[in-house]
Amino acid sequence: MIIASAKFRVCFIVVAIAAISFLYYSMLIDYRAIDANGDNMYHAYMARTVFSKQPFYIPLINYFYRNDSLPHAGYDFPPLFSLLLGIIYKIFGENYYYGIYFNAFVASASLIPLFLIGRRLSGNTAGLIASLALSLNLFWLFSITKGLLEPLFVFCAMWATYFLFLYGEKERRSALIISAFLSGLAYLARYNGLVLVFVALIYLLTTREKHIKERLKESGILIAVFVLTVFPWLLRNYVEFHDPFMYVGKYFMWLELGVPGHAVCKEVPSFRLYFDTHTVFDFVKRFFDSARSSFPELNRTSNYFLLIVLHQAVFGVRRFFNRKFLFFYLFVFFGYLFVMLHPFALDPRHFLPFYPLLYLGGSVYACRSVSYYLMQRSLFNYLKLTILLVCIVFSLTSLVGQYRKDFDMLYRSYPFSRMAEELGGWVSRYTNTEDVIMMQYAMVPLYYSGRGSVTAPALASQEDIDNLVDRYGVTYFADLFYDGPLPSGFLEVQRFRYKDQVIKVFHKEGKSGAN
């Protein structure tokens, strides 16, 4: 009876977390302001072609999505998110908001494994705190309501982590297989999922109290199931492009943070290519510059949970250390490093998928520490408890303080929302996906304007380009395949060949900023 009651209580909490969070996320969906961001429009385009036999070429937005010498846009991201969106559109119809509600559902389900892991390590309180911290993270909310793929990646990664830990406790081979399968899905949702498998192997090989042969066998099962899961996608890439790991982003690389414009590589970016022109000091400096610029922007809660982790490192490593913490922090560290080295990792939300486990590690440690300090009465323990409570209070109050102000700033001040209002007006609630996607025609030229450059679609009119220059102060733009007349007042300042495509850079007369 007691066991049944405990299971019922856990089930009730799980259902409550999922239901309340889904309602909360649904309330945040703004039907008036569609953010015609490049990424979410990309996913919508891909979703509409899932059941189409036509090749995925988009001449309207040709800079991002068409180059006959490169793989088409289907290789800019892994296929899972767009595939699931395509199924949603096929079943329910092509309404852009069906995809947003799908995102809200996936995000709500992502909180469940976070709670379950926290509960197994330190009780319900730790799981609830970690779930609360993630559910109120601003960039988490942004990714959900703007139709981005981060929630799906977190869903796959967190459930994979839960089943991995379940295997560690119950020794059920099925749990390990499910974890490996979900790790493969995480990779197919976002290439960062490779980090999950890497860290899982470290966990299996170093924290398991088994003979080395058993640990190698476990690792072999993990790798085999992961490879089988991603194999169809890798095979298709190899058949078409003779490169199983092909995607468009491999051919573009931001060599320095904060430098506008693309540096186009004539080969796949590599450490050798990087260090041909950069020193080790440049590499280290880039890492710390990225850390400095990304951590504060992600959300205050990330910073304050780092204080809890610091408290753990100073006061509690030996007494409270759990081997599963190693998984948490290795995943965060290698995940952050992986994203930081990625060509397009300039947006703080790109680092978001690695913070649920940071929240979890901080929450579990905090709950364990408070219980211990209250039992062990000493002046020094009271001092450590005070420091810890200060960290916890900052972590939780930061979710409330200026929250609404920050929320409005993130949503209403994000450039695309302002531009959508100016250029396209508000979109009605029941907007067809194709209509929403067409707004991207106006959005793409503005995407790089904040960084001093702009990419103009070939179909943009002379008047459109002149208006962009006058309104947003665009100084130059580059295009891989623009063969029309030069925009008014622009001069071609650079031209070079990449494979069989000529890349041209145009500069506005009287303006500075061309490279």
Q: Are 22 and 108 in contact (CB under 8 A)?
A: yes
Q: Which run of H or E residues covers position 118?
A: helix 96-122
Q: List CB contacts of 456: < 8 A, sequence separation 6 or more.
A: 63, 445, 464, 465, 468, 477, 479, 482, 487
Strand, coil or helix: 427: coil
What's the sign of the alpha-carbon dihedral 336, 338, 341, 346? negative
DSSP letter assigned to residue 306: H
How far apart CA 264 and CA 473 sit, in angstroms, is 24
**Number of other CB atoms surrounding residue 32 within 10 Å:** 12
Structure token digits, residue 328: 């948490």
How far apart CA 140 and CA 359 sit, in angstroms, is 13
How far apart CA 384 and CA 205 sit, in angstroms, is 34
How far apart CA 500 and CA 503 sit, in angstroms, is 10
pLDDT for position 26? 83
pLDDT for position 236? 78
Structure token digits, residue 448: 């790089």
Q: List CB contacts of 181: < 8 A, sequence separation 6 or more.
A: 225, 226, 229
Structure token digits, residue 29: 């969906």
Q: What is the pLDDT along the chain (515 residues), one digit of tens a residue?
A: 555 566 777 788 888 888 888 888 888 776 544 554 557 766 776 777 676 654 444 333 333 333 344 344 445 678 899 889 888 888 887 777 788 889 999 999 999 999 998 888 878 888 888 888 888 777 788 788 878 888 999 999 999 989 988 888 887 889 999 999 999 999 999 888 888 888 888 888 887 777 888 888 888 999 999 999 999 888 877 776 677 776 555 544 333 333 333 333 333 445 555 566 666 676 666 556 655 554 444 445 455 566 666 666 655 555 555 666 777 777 777 776 666 555 455 566 677 777 788 788 778 777 777 777 677 677 766 676 777 677 666 655 544 444 444 444 444 434 333 333 333 333 333 344 444 443 333 333 333 333 333 333 333 445 544 554 454 443 334 343 344 455 455 554 444 443 344 444 444 444 333 33
Domain limits of the chain? 2-30+77-246+279-410, 420-508
